């Protein structure tokens, strides 16, 4: 069976590595997606276990369309009662890159019309649409004149782990946070610190990795659970295998932030993630923080890029670099920033660089190795 996992730009290779680890076959890297082969068990595992996937799609038909009539007719040819039961609510999402279709919302509307018209003709009633909590989700992807219709096995975007009940301004996406940790060389055995932790995404994702826990709760409801061919026995087996592979947290994972609101948000989220008593956060200014010892792993998403004026950004990043050089010897530090010029103001040479996106903004993820004494 063909499966497509959607992800963020720059995380395709990381997602492919995750897929290899859970037994995916015939892996093909695409733009913001990875295509692979697998069975029902792999669909279930992909949703529960992949940290860098946003959606898991199952293509069910492909055809060509250059106008709304061809799109409508192509969708209506499918036997939708094979996938949708009476009483199911539906929703359609779409993505479009085509000269023939200008608006993804209109494409979703025409797809929905074709589905409900066919089912109304068969049943005498049309299924209801529920944009937020649909039982069955359909995805329409159009590239030029090529149309792919897929079942969305995930439901809500997989970046919604369920633990972020409190937030701060511009929080980092959970999928991106996990992806950055996987991109870095963190071995899950070294103490990890986030000195500008915001709402705690890095520390929550890191703790789940270190304990070999899946990113999602075992109680999470995925759309594939509403499919006619959902196999509860296979799902229960997937859950039991995950639980059997979990382990205790044996390292320190701690976040800091100078903003009391951020610390409150982090504590709420840590508790919701089931990590209370395992992950610590503390209200502390980065520039007064001397708790990070040599040998530690540090990851930072400076939250000030957008808020500070240019002069303050220059001063702020210079100050970060000075503090790292003076007070954090023997540590490995990774910093993500959408302010590429500001990263250069740290006064440190990165030993590794990655380019990706933080939301809509291009970003750089740089590694800095801070040596005790001289590098020699």
272: its two tokens: 């919701």
Q: Is 33 helix (H, G, I), strand (E, B) or coil?
A: strand
Asked if the structure places residue 261 within a domain, the reply is yes
Indicate whether 139 and 16 sit together in one domain. yes
Number of domains the chain is built from: 2
| CATH code, 184 | 3.40.50.150
Q: Is the pLDDT of residue 36 over 50?
A: yes
CB 208 within 8 A of CB 179: no
Determine what percent of the chain falls in helix, strand and coil, rounding each to the nearest 5: 35, 25, 45
* Positions of E strands within the chain: 2-6, 25-30, 33-37, 55-64, 90-97, 136-143, 146-152, 192-194, 253-257, 280-283, 297-300, 332-337, 352-358, 361-369
pLDDT tens-digit series, residues 105-127: 999 999 999 999 999 999 999 99
Q: Is the same domain home to 193 and 308? A: yes
Percent of the chain residues past pLDDT 70, beyond the cut: 97
- The predicted pLDDT at position 376 comes to 43
φ and ψ at 30, to 5 degrees? Answer: -120, -175
pLDDT in tens, 68-84: 999 999 999 999 999 99
Note whether 183 and 142 are same-domain residues: no
pLDDT of res. 124: 96
In a domain, 65, yes or no: yes
Task: Kindly state whether residue 36 falls inside one of the protein's structural domains.
Answer: yes
Co-location of 74 and 185 in the same domain: no
Task: Tell me the two tokens of residue 170.
Answer: 């511009």
Q: Are residues 47 and 192 in the same domain?
A: no
Domain that holds residue 121: 2-152
In a domain, 69, yes or no: yes
Q: Are residues 10 and 112 in the same domain?
A: yes
Strands laid side by side in the 332-337 sheet:
280-283, 253-257, 192-194, 297-300, 332-337, 361-369, 352-358
> For residue range 319-355, what is the model confidence (pLDDT) as tens digits?
999 999 999 999 999 999 998 888 999 999 999 999 9
Is the per-residue pLDDT at 206 higher than 90?
Answer: yes
For all residues of the chain together, what is the average pLDDT? 94
- Does residue 234 form part of some domain? no
Distance CA 151, CA 129 (A): 15
Q: Are residues 130 and 33 in the same domain?
A: yes
Q: What is the pLDDT at residue 332?
A: 97
Which domain CATH number covers 70?
3.30.2130.30
What pLDDT is recorded for position 373? 58
Task: Check whether residue 143 and residue 182 sit in a common domain.
Answer: no
Judge if pTM exceeds 0.85: yes
Do residue 80 and residue 125 come from a single domain?
A: yes
348 and 255 inside one domain: yes
Name every residue whose Cβ is closer than 8 Å to that of residue 5 and which is 6 or more positions away in sequence.
15, 19, 33, 34, 36, 46, 50, 53, 54, 55, 56, 57
Indicate if the pLDDT at residue 374 is higher than 60: no
pLDDT band at 11 (very low <50, low <70, confident <90, very high): very high
Rounded to whole angstroms, the Cα distance separating 272 from 274 reads: 5
Q: Is residue 374 part of a domain?
A: no
Same domain, 195 and 255: yes
């Amino acid at each position: 069976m063909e499966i497509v996992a959607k992800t963020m730009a720059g995380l395709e290779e990381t997602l492919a590595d995750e897929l290899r680890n859970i037994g995916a076959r015939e892996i093909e890297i695409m733009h913001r997606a990875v295509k692979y082969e697998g069975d029902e068990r792999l669909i279930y595992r992909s949703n529960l276990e992949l940290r860098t996937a946003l959606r898991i799609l199952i293509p069910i038909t492909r055809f060509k369309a250059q106008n709304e009539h061809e799109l409508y007719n192509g969708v209506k040819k499918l036997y939708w009662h094979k996938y949708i039961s009476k009483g199911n609510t539906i929703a359609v999402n779409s993505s479009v890159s085509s000269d023939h279709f200008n608006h993804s919302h209109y494409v979703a509307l025409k797809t929905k019309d074709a589905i409900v018209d066919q089912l109304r003709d068969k049943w005498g009633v049309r299924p209801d649409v529920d944009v937020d909590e649909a039982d069955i989700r359909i995805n329409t992807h159009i590239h030029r004149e090529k149309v792919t219709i897929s079942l969305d096995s995930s439901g809500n975007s997989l970046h919604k782990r369920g633990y972020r009940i409190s937030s701060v301004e511009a929080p980092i996406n959970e999928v991106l946070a996990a992806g950055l940790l996987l991109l870095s060389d963190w071995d899950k055995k070294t103490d990890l610190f986030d000195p500008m932790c915001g709402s705690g995404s890095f520390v929550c994702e890191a703790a789940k990795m270190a304990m070999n826990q899946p990113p999602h709760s075992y109680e999470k409801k995925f759309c594939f659970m509403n499919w006619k061919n959902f196999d509860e026995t296979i799902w229960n087996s997937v859950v039991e295998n995950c639980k059997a592979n979990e382990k205790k947290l044996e390292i320190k994972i701690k976040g800091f932030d100078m903003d009391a609101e951020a610390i409150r948000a982090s504590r709420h989220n840590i508790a919701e993630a089931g990590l209370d008593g395992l992950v610590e956060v503390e209200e502390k200014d980065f520039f007064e923080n001397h708790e990070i010892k040599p040998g530690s792993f540090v990851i930072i998403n400076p939250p000030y890029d957008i808020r500070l004026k240019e002069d303050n950004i220059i001063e702020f990043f210079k100050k970060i670099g000075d503090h790292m050089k003076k007070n954090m010897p023997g540590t490995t530090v990774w910093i993500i920033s959408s302010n590429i010029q500001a990263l250069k103001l740290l006064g440190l040479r990165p030993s590794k660089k990655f380019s990706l996106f933080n939301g809509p903004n291009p970003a750089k993820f740089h590694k800095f190795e801070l040596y005790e004494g001289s590098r020699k």
